[in-house]
Amino acid sequence: MKIYIVHYDKMKDRRIELEKQLKRERVKVEWFVQEEKNPYTQKEIDTYYLYNNQEWKRKVKLIDSHLFPRRLGIGEICVTMNHFKIFKLISEDRGPYGLILENDVILTHKFNLKLKNLLKRLRNLEWDICFIDWCAATPPKSNHPEIIFSRKDNSSWGNAGYIVKKEVAAKITNNFERFSLPADEELKYLVKKYGFKVIWANPPLTVQGSITGKFKSSLTEDRENNGIKRYISWRKNIYLLLDRKYLNIILRLLIKLETKIKGVLIG
């Protein structure tokens, strides 16, 4: 099975750190590198990405999400494009499936052994996509490795680490439609659209460094500039005014409301 790593070459610290882990675990990978000096052209972006409020609403309705329509930032667009480009590579490869990792993953101890054991178990199960990372969600406590077949929470699945079957990647590639949502939400939409069977490895084999705090999230500012800051650009001056007038109760209520709105806007 080939392992692909989504990487932006500007993030040198992430590659250095991940290469140390890969060497420790004796794991061979293929780096899918997006070059800072050779950015995607607008024509390439338009081939993959569609900014359309109706499409956004249609898709989030299908996945039972409440994310407010917004234009994706260039970082989000490029990351999602990279995932789709790797789907094509997996669909053309000889192997039955491929593993996609993002460059901020932290491999658990004995990752290689755990991955091999997981693949052995997957041979006897029906599945299409297997997540080995739980993003910001907390997996159920378990004293032994297990497979989770469904999740009650509707939080982000995350795309930091997941195994995709060749035929699944081929179906997505051959029936390609331009994406409108961020990578993880778009994958949720495709799962719903095609009825893919999704499972999760528990405990996870990787965790995201941008969630644990090891790395600064490269997309947070991107999302905020196109989400919360766009719709609540007035907040700083209002907060300063309320603070000067000692209207602390109203100030606290507004901050609480902003936090709630932020979750709806940027997920």
Of the spans 56-70, 83-97, 128-142, 207-221, which averages the highest pLDDT? 83-97
3-state secondary structure the chain: CEEEEEEECCCHHHHHHHHHHHHHHCCCCEEEEECCCCCCCHHHHHHHECCCHHHHHHHHHHCCCCCCCCCCCHHHHHHHHHHHHHHHHHHHCCCCEEEEEECCEEECCCHHHHHHHHHHHHCCCCCCEEECCCCCCCCCCCCCCEEECCCCCCCCCCCCEEEEEHHHHHHHHHCCCCECCCHHHHHHHHHHHHCCCEEEEECCCEEEHHHHCCCCCCCHHHHHHCCHHHHCCCHHHHHHHHHHCCCHHHHHHHHHHHHHHHHHHHC
Q: Output the pLDDT for position 94.
A: 93
pLDDT of amino acid 143: 84
User: Higher pLDDT residue, 19 or 208?
Assistant: 19
pLDDT score at 134: 92
In the predicted structure, residue 233 carries a pLDDT above the cut 60:
no
Q: Read off the pLDDT of each residue in 112-141 and give the average, rounded to a whole number.
A: 94
- Of 13, 5, 9, give the one whose Cα is nearest residue 32: 5
Percent of the chain with pLDDT over 70: 78
Half-sphere CA count of 260, side-chain side, radius 13 A: 6
What is the rounded average pLDDT of the residues 171-178? 96
Report the b/e string of 193-215 with b at 16+ CB within 10 A. eeebebbbbbbbbbbbbbbeeeb
Provide the residue ranges of all domains of the chain, joining segments of one domain with +: 2-212, 227-266
Position with higher pLDDT, 255 vs 193: 193
Amino acid identity of 193? K
Q: Which fold has domain 2-212?
A: Spore Coat Polysaccharide Biosynthesis Protein SpsA; Chain A (3.90.550)
How sure is the predictor about 265, in pLDDT bands with cuts at 50, 70 and 90?
A: very low
CA geometry: angle 14, 96, 146, nearest 5 deg: 70
Percent share of the chain, pLDDT over 90: 67
Average pLDDT over residues 145-172: 90
- pLDDT on residue 159: 92
pLDDT category of residue 136 using cuts at 50, 70 and 90: confident
Split at pLDDT 50, 70, 90, the class of 157 is: confident
* Residue 193 predicted with pLDDT over 90: yes
Quick one: average pLDDT of 187-209? Answer: 95
User: Does residue 198 or residue 266 have the better pLDDT?
Assistant: 198
pLDDT for 266 equals 44
29 has a pLDDT exceeding 60: yes
